[in-house]
Amino acid sequence: MNDENMLYHSEHKIFPKIFYSLFLPPRAMRIKFQHITKLYGTQKALDEVNFSIETGEIIGLLGPNGAGKSTLIKILIGLLSPESGQLFDHDQALNTQSLNYKRRIGYLPEDNPLPQELFVKEYLTQTAALYALNPFDEKTLIERTGLTPVEHKKIGALSKGFKQRLGLAAALIHEPELLVLDEPMTGLDPNQIQEIRKLIKSLSPKTTVLLSTHILQDISAICDRILVLNQGKLVKDLALKDLDNKNVTEALEALFTEWTS
């Protein structure tokens, strides 16, 4: 047996390296959309969309209403399948329906469905059980997401802002490699927005974030890069550092109109 398939010993068992590698943690995600098209009847919600998501990036997803942002997100998290095209992870075809893939992603929807009758800590414990996290660091998660003042309350008694924080906590509970956030700042006051921005920026360098929002200040404050959709087409893929303007938000406002008019 050559060096590439050298043997690994575990007590009385011997495994070739090719089998040993099956038990190693997966590489951080590097996702590629290749010629993704999605139809609703005869209407193209996405039209030959191509881009890559690099590990550790915080990417802002922009576009007017009806541009295809929600469809793109649903395809990325496995709720929809495209009519044509393929998603890849490290140049290997990606099955977004697999449980293995779903374990590696976190998702906060815009309309966050939460069980109103449960208590905050109870909901987080049940969410942790779904990911077989036993135990999990409940205290640190609650502190990171600013839920300490309401940790003993019922979800139905929470404000919109605290419900958003709880949804974010549930999306982060298993330390996903890909975190997809759909309008996460909805209902937050200015102080809460600053805290959530800091939290997103503090995530592990191995965590990739896709942030869909209409708030350009959020984009300029935390994103490395933007993707702009218009009428189902990707019209701009741009690193924010390439904007030749000290006021990124003002520049984005002008350019957004230009890109989507």
* pLDDT value, residue 261: 82
Q: At 83, is the secondary structure helix, strand, or coil?
A: coil
Q: What pLDDT does 26 receive?
A: 52
Q: What is the pLDDT of residue 168?
A: 92
Strands 233-239 vs 225-230: parallel, antiparallel or unpaired: antiparallel
Residue 63, Ramachandran bin (φ over 0: left; ψ between -120 and 50: alpha; else beta): left
pLDDT at 12: 43
DSSP string, 157-199: GS-HHHHHHHHHHHHHTT--SEEEEESTTTT--HHHHHHHHHH
* Residue 158: C-alpha distances to residues 32, 166, 167, 174, 181 (Å): 38, 10, 12, 23, 20
**pLDDT, position 136:** 83
What are the 10-residue block averages of pLDDT along the chain, 261 residues in total? 43 43 57 96 95 93 94 96 94 92 92 92 94 87 93 94 92 94 87 88 88 92 95 95 81 90 82
